[in-house]
Structure 1
């Protein structure tokens, strides 16, 4: 197994990171019927790479990016105990590199970056039916906190 290195993303990574974003979207489509059918984008990755309050991390093998993630410092809602928190997103590992602990290493690096910025509250979102992702995040120390629910307009919400 080739050694995996973590580093901060640079603008030269952008084309590969945009491919990773499409991999994330395709993996999430089965969990979210509300996503548009055409090509979509979740992130402004160029802005994230340039933003001093966002850390975009790349995992690479032999100089080739194989995984990614970001932590972004956000303002918390006024009623919460913490004034700011780090939001994690863009978590991706190329399929041939999965199962090697790369995602956990990326999460750990983003947690360390957050702590270095005096941010101890760290959050992320995951689809409730994405059990593999939930297990991975729980292994990284996250706990289930809030479940976001929805109802489609015109639907009774009752299952037959």
Structure 2
């Protein structure tokens, strides 16, 4: 898409990001019966924006926010060949802009942030039944790695 601007998020973006968060929660509900009823929040978005150790990016088109994502360093398990990795989250694109490369632009900005942090391993989580998201991440070079399984006892 032409004229999409990807930039670091600021507090002036908070209202739109809070809306993105609620839309993301609603989009994920069909994949996860354990998500509590609303109102709820996945993130403390104001804290994420203010935290200089976290890279939170937005895509803007014609003055309107259309996508988001963040990266943060996390400690790796002690037996892995890296001490930290970049965890990517809050990956959201407004539905009418999906499939247009906007998520790739956010991922590119996050990859640059990851490189500045000196990290080489990137990870994210996606619901197994979210086939469009999985295909998009695979197209960006991600590979399935671990399947998390669950069982709810009565």
User: Take 2:7 and 2:79, find their aligned partners in 1: how far apart are those partners?
Assistant: 35
Contact 1:2–1:62 (CA under 8 A) maintained in structure 2: no
Normalised by the length of structure 2, the TM-score is 0.96
- 1:124-135 correspondence to structure 2 within 5 Å: 124-135=124-135
Instruction: Give runs of ≥4 in structure 1 deviating > 4 Å.
Output: none
Normalised by the length of structure 1, the TM-score is 0.93
- 1:2-151 correspondence to structure 2 within 5 Å: 2-151=2-151
User: Take 1:7 and 1:143, find their aligned partners in 2: how far apart are those partners?
Assistant: 26
User: Take 1:42 and 1:121, find their aligned partners in 2: how far apart are those partners?
Assistant: 23
User: Take 2:70 and 2:123, find their aligned partners in 1: how far apart are those partners?
Assistant: 12
Contact 1:108–1:140 (CA under 8 A) maintained in structure 2: no
User: Take 1:101 and 1:58, find their aligned partners in 2: how far apart are those partners?
Assistant: 13
Contact 1:68–1:106 (CA under 8 A) maintained in structure 2: yes
User: Take 1:125 and 1:108, find their aligned partners in 2: how far apart are those partners?
Assistant: 18
Tell me the secondary structure at the aligned position of residue 58 of structure 1.
Answer: strand
User: Take 2:46 and 2:30, find their aligned partners in 1: how far apart are those partners?
Assistant: 27
Note the C-alpha offset of 1:2. 4.9
Gaps of 5+ in 2: none
Tell me the secondary structure at the aligned position of residue 21 of structure 2.
Answer: helix
Note the C-alpha offset of 1:38. 2.1
Tell me the secondary structure at the aligned position of residue 151 of structure 2.
Answer: coil
Contact 1:76–1:83 (CA under 8 A) maintained in structure 2: yes
User: Take 1:151 and 1:98, find their aligned partners in 2: how far apart are those partners?
Assistant: 32
User: Take 1:107 and 1:2, find their aligned partners in 2: how far apart are those partners?
Assistant: 17
